[in-house]
Structure 1
Amino acid sequence: MEFSIKSGSPEKQRSACVVVGVFEPRKLTLAAELLDNAAHNHLSDIIRRGDMEGKAGSTLLLHNVPGTLCDRVLLVGLGKEKEFGDKAYCDAIRSAVRTLNETGSFDGTVFLTETSVRKRSSAWRVRQATMVAQETVYRFDQFKSKKDKVRRPLRKLTFVIDRRNELAAAEEALHQGQAIAEGMALAKNLANLPGNVCTPAFLAETAQKMASEHKLECQILERDEMTALGMHSLLSVAKGSQQPPKLIVLQHKGGKNDDKPVVLVGKGITFDSGGISLKPAPEMDEMKYDMCGAASVLGTIKAAALMKLPINLTVIVPSSENMPGGAATRPGDIVTSMSGQTIEILNTDAEGRLILCDALTYAARFQPETVIDIATLTGACVIALGHVATGLFANNEALARELVHAGDDAHDRAWQMPLWDDYQELLKSPFADMANIGGRWGGSITAACFLARFTRKYVWAHLDIAGTAWKSGTDKGATGRPVPLLMHYLLKRAGKLD
């Protein structure tokens, strides 16, 4: 989709459709009032008759509105003005774009970006609208022999801002929003692929193609190299699979040579059967999403490269399948991690932490400024936070606050959870330095505590995205989260956010 920014009056727009908002109850926004004045109260007459109350999510499409140069006017309900915040704004953009895409309007001129949102700038509104618009028209149908084609798909959106002196900032925000949306699309495409296509080798090939396209540095470590490094924890997960494991390293060097990099580590289990500790059959197909951490960090580095972000960013993806088999790791096996610490594997379905701990140890060689790992790690996090917030754990309060604020800015929120030493007691093993599970209670916390044992050399945070990385049911599919959170964090660090 093509995007542009402009400033102007709604009645003068030559467009297939002009989009304006209506607050509840029946209150026109400023742009809608200007249209109404030009149309000799045509809009207010329709609203007075009860066709549009302004309820959030509602839409009303009008044709041949007098006094205007556009083909159509789309009224979008914004809900109560006092309650119009981030979520309501994003929902309004989503409703507008969905309606435009379904009604045959090749292009739309959106005045919702003029509408004030509490504590948000014009640049924020444009950036968010761009991301939401791309997300709304996203489709994953490459495996369907007969695709459901949109008859006249939306091809161009123009976002209108009310102040000409903010055009430059809005243009930059538009570019940022497009890059983040492309990163999200890559993350969703990778995650939505079936496990028989998206293997560790496929992820490695994808990384190599990205390196060539975006001038990144790429390194792929094979099984022999991981063995030489002592990554026996990671390799134990791959033992039951015929697919060879990969350790993928991508680097975007946009900063100064002596700038320490931000390192992102993404869990890349391309299919998780649970191994010998086999998962129940219902919804096991969704375990192709166990590489959403990997998909999100690949999407993030793509967005950073598209923006030419002036920072050094390193992405590490430990990737494997977790399958049962004659050679698979058994419950009770003990392995030695790259750090030298030994692990008693009590449950082979707690495999994500086994591949991450070696990748986190490996991350230290890059002398990082910060390290953030992203993983669909625990069902316990879904029980704790549902599908709204990502679980956030950190060994540094300043980093935790930065990530929470980035999530709020991106409307891709995270909630900080405790990482107290009290929970470390639950990981005790009589036979090894630690067990890989800590029992039923506080499962997301004990998983984070496990990872914390491998991150003492640097500032670190862990994002548990088990509840936010994909949706089930009729809307089944990857969400692309937390690419927006990560990119807002990086943009802030690079001094590129308003």
Structure 2
Amino acid sequence: MTDSPLTRLRPGELAGSLAGRQDIDVVVGVFATGDGVCGGRGAAALGAALGVDVAELAAADPDFDGSQAARSVVVLDRPAGPLRIVLVGLGSRVESAHALFDAALAARCRRAVVSTLALESSGALGAVAQGHALGRWQYRRAPEPTGPGAAIEIVDDSPADATVPLARAAVIVRATAWVRQLVQTPANQLCPNDFAAQVADFAGQLAPETVTVTVWDAATLQARGFGGTLGVSAGSAQAPLVVELRVDGAGPTTALAGKGITFDSGGINLKRDAGELGWMKSDMAGAASVAAAVIGAAALGRQAPVIAILPMAENMPGPAALRPGDVLSHPGGRTTEVLDTDSEGRLVLADALGWLAAQRPAHLIDVGTLTDSGGLGPGFWGCWATSSELGAAVVDAGARAFDRGWLLPLPPPYVSMPVSHVADTANICPGVPDTGQLAAAYLRTFVGEVPWVHIDNGSAAWLEHDAHPWPAGPTGTPVRALIEFLHPASAFADGD
């Protein structure tokens, strides 16, 4: 549940809010020091409201040390009834609002929340609201109701108006939750047609007047030269398609592409790892993130034009499946020799990039779960760029949105490494371990001179195990970074 009312409390209102209530989680941050643990401004506010020593409560738990991954729950007995206090570690100090986003997310509060975390840093209201709302996310089975969840109240003493950051947080949380819901959905319940319908429905809910959704069928893909998407889907009973999203407006056009493989068996090069196969329903996380970002940015008020192309297909073995050694053609006529059918995501993105580059956008961004995200682990998505300025802008947007990425190098020699004797290029380099850098090198040949960034969210979009502050499962990354890039918080605050 994430569709929760987000409100601000002033410190002087805290005692009244807690009076007589038992069905809430009260969240407070605790710091680690050389002498143990100590409370900050939130602990002081909670102490004044309840007459308790928060540091003393924290010290009573021998396993709680105030480190950034620490969490403890204390049940406080009161005349009005028991009250649950969730203590979260903040380390030695709060260096940025991102630390408070992480702490709120890690609090994992599923009930109503009263949080004092925003008192620990200025301008942290939106970060804390997002963290708490995303921390209570749960997968919803289709029959379950989707009504509003329990309220999240953030104690904050900033003089600024709370309306803007909380309204923005509500949209971002909803977009992120939508991505996580789809990525978690079993593949037999989210074939390409289902995925396309979900995108259209979400656009109709969140930005009905501003986002145009068009679905291209297989015949249209054939006519437009999307041989990569058609080839990848050839072994599946599910027909491929492309979802096109458009936002009209004045100014330079931003183009995006997202990998939408609703299930990836590896094709003829079948994956050997049964554990990996079990979560290959998540291979559409790139397309879901792009769709949610475009729709979310439009809902927040983006005025400049956007076009997004989302190829959707299922990669399966079968009588008509793509074979190693086959050659595919992409928009514009460029061809690929498919040496590994399990490197299929770059084939569908090559279609989208070739088509979009021909439209001459101002800049072009693609997202796909292709590899290990450049070896950055679960905390970051990796990206490669032909424009250092654009790459830096995308990474900076992620930093502001608590959705971190890292810009990695793409030396020119890598671009010439995929070699084929029967096509313009190949989708892997035989004898060379496949990496995010090599996948980016392949894709770079389809964008021409258009400034371009490739985001690989392969290690961060789905977590096999808990990785603080995220639990195992879908994270929604990099949707928050893309929303911030498409429509920065500063523009939203100005009413642009």
Query: What residue in structure 1 maps to residue 212 of structure 2?
Result: 217
SS of match in other structure, 1:32: helix
Residue 289 of structure 2 aligns with an amino acid whose one-letter code is: S
Query: What residue in structure 2 maps to residue 488 of structure 1?
Result: 484
Q: 2:292 aligns with which of 291, 296, 299?
A: 299
Instruction: State the distance in 2 between where 1:493 and 1:64 align.
Output: 42
Contact 2:101–2:130 under 8 Å retained in 1: no
Instruction: State the distance in 2 between where 1:186 and 1:36 align.
Output: 37
How well do the aligned residues superpose, as a CA RMSD in angstroms? 2.9
Query: What residue in structure 1 maps to residue 9 of structure 2?
Result: 6
**Identical pairs, percent:** 29
The answer on 1:375 being equivalent to 2:368 is yes
Query: What residue in structure 1 maps to residue 40 of structure 2?
Result: 29
Q: 2:383 aligns with which of 376, 389, 392?
A: 392
The answer on 1:199 being equivalent to 2:191 is yes
CA-CA distance at 1:87 after TM superposition: 5.4
Q: Deviations over 1:192-233 (max 9, x none)?
A: 111112111112222332343332212111111111122222
Contact 2:29–2:90 under 8 Å retained in 1: no
Pairing 1:64-83 to 2, within 5 Å after superposition:
72=83, 74=85, 76-82=87-93
CA-CA distance at 1:335 after TM superposition: 2.1
> Structure 1 residues 494, 201: CA separation in 2 closer, same or farther (over 3 Å shift)?
farther
Residue 22 of structure 1 aligns with an amino acid whose one-letter code is: V
Q: 2:233 aligns with which of 234, 238, 249?
A: 238
Instruction: State the distance in 2 between where 1:186 and 1:386 align.
Output: 23
Query: What residue in structure 2 maps to residue 277 of structure 1?
Result: 269
Instruction: State the distance in 2 between where 1:55 and 1:389 align.
Output: 21
Residue 332 of structure 2 aligns with an amino acid whose one-letter code is: S
CA-CA distance at 1:454 after TM superposition: 0.9
Q: 1:402 aligns with which of 375, 378, 393?
A: 393
Q: Which runs of 5+ in 2 are unaligned?
A: none
Q: Which runs of 5+ in 1 are unaligned?
A: none
Instruction: State the distance in 2 between where 1:45 and 1:229 align.
Output: 67
Q: Matched residue pairs, number?
A: 470
Instruction: State the distance in 2 between where 1:343 and 1:29 align.
Output: 58
CA-CA distance at 1:47 after TM superposition: 6.0
SS of match in other structure, 2:327: strand
Q: Deviations over 1:441-498 (max 9, x none)?
A: 4621121111111111411110011101101147542111111111122233973379
Q: Deviations over 1:415-434 (max 9, x none)?
A: 11222211123212122211
Pairing 1:23-422 to 2, within 5 Å after superposition:
23-24=31-32, 25-37=36-48, 43=54, 46=57, 54-56=66-68, 57-63=70-76, 72=83, 74=85, 76-82=87-93, 85-86=96-97, 88-98=99-109, 101=110, 107-116=112-121, 121-122=122-123, 125-142=124-141, 155-163=150-158, 165-166=159-160, 168=161, 170-213=162-205, 214-215=207-208, 216-253=211-248, 255-256=249-250, 259-283=251-275, 284-364=277-357, 366-379=359-372, 381=373, 384-422=375-413
CA-CA distance at 1:410 after TM superposition: 2.1
Residue 9 of structure 1 aligns with an amino acid whose one-letter code is: G
Query: What residue in structure 2 maps to residue 438 of structure 1?
Result: 429
> Structure 1 residues 130, 42: CA separation in 2 closer, same or farther (over 3 Å shift)?
closer
> Structure 1 residues 33, 86: CA separation in 2 closer, same or farther (over 3 Å shift)?
closer
Query: What residue in structure 1 maps to residue 28 of structure 2?
Result: 20
> Structure 1 residues 494, 310: CA separation in 2 closer, same or farther (over 3 Å shift)?
farther
CA-CA distance at 1:50 after TM superposition: 6.9
Contact 2:300–2:492 under 8 Å retained in 1: no
Residue 339 of structure 2 aligns with an amino acid whose one-letter code is: L
TM-score (norm 2): 0.86
